[in-house]
A and B are shown apart, each in its own frame.
Chain A
Amino acid sequence: EAQVTQNPRYLITVTGKKLTVTCSQNMNHEYMSWYRQDPGLGLRQIYYSMNVEVTDKGDVPEGYKVSRKEKRNFPLILESPSPNQTSLYFCASSPSIRQQLLYGYTFGSGTRLTVV
């Protein structure tokens, strides 16, 4: 089944403790992206990647890092999480940056992160 898989689904952590949220897709998509979803603010893009070793900042990149060493994986790293990073996070992929017009994004099921 074509899908985007995120892990973990739920995570509670303490301020300052480094964490990684994994994202993997099995569709050979070039484009991958991370979003956070907060009430009243909608989906905001954190980082995106147009292909292996190519990443760029989205609208809210502060406090986050990403890497794209392989086409299928796009982990989100929080080096020193803070309470304002408590949110629902989604990974998404698309065949390519231009094919998002036709195919849209395939989203993972989300990771609910709480930082205390």
Chain B
Amino acid sequence: TQLLEQSPQFLSIQEGENLTVYCNSSSVFSSLQWYRQEPGEGPVLLVTVVTGGEVKKLKRLTFQFGDARKDSSLHITAAQPGDTGLYLCAGDRNTDKLIFGTGTRLQVFP
């Protein structure tokens, strides 16, 4: 059973387009994190959201944590080829580990 479902699984867009990636669960999380993984490297933390309804912005990236703390979204404005990578959400349920989603693979073409 996958506690964190990400959609879409794959996304291929042109430079300049906007996109949204979703991370959904039927369980409540105390916090959610988003990572980006580039080919040949490990995931790198982008942001942590901890409060229901919280919105955080990181340049062209906007992260939102759902009011009920069961879901999150990542919106990218005017995507660039440098945004290409695997985007992973990870949730904390006050256990000894983070639970990772299956990921969304984004390809941005020039």
Instruction: Give the number of residues in A that approach B within 8 Å (Cβ atoms).
Output: 27
A92 and B42 contacting across the interface, CB-CB below 8 Å: yes
A109 to B42, CA, bound (A): 5
- Kindly report which residue of chain A lies nearest to residue B102, judged by CB atoms: A42
B43 and A105 contacting across the interface, CB-CB below 8 Å: yes
Q: Which one of B11-19, B27-35, B70-78 is at the A interface? A: B27-35
A26 to B21, CA, bound (A): 34
A104 and B2 contacting across the interface, CB-CB below 8 Å: no
A107 and B43 contacting across the interface, CB-CB below 8 Å: yes
State which size class the interface on B falls in: 20 to 34
**Complex contacts, B100 vs chain A, CB 8 Å:** 35, 42-44
A101 and B48 contacting across the interface, CB-CB below 8 Å: yes
| Neighbour of A42 across the interface among B31, B97, B103, CB < 8 A | B103
**Complex contacts, B50 vs chain A, CB 8 Å:** 101
Q: Would you call A82 an interface residue if the criterion is a C-beta within 8 Å of the partner chain's C-beta atoms? A: no
> Distance in Å from the Cβ of A85 to the closest Cβ of chain B?
19
A16 to B43, CA, bound (A): 30
| Neighbour of B42 across the interface among A97, A101, A108, CB < 8 A | A108
A35 to B41, CA, bound (A): 14
Given A4-B42, A92-B42, A107-B42, output 14 extra A-B contacts at Cβ < 8 Å.
A42-B100, A42-B101, A42-B103, A48-B96, A58-B97, A101-B48, A102-B48, A103-B45, A104-B45, A105-B43, A105-B98, A108-B42, A109-B40, A110-B42
The residues of A with any CB-CB pair to B shorter than 8 Å are 4, 33, 35, 40-45, 48, 50, 56, 58, 90, 92, 97, 100-110
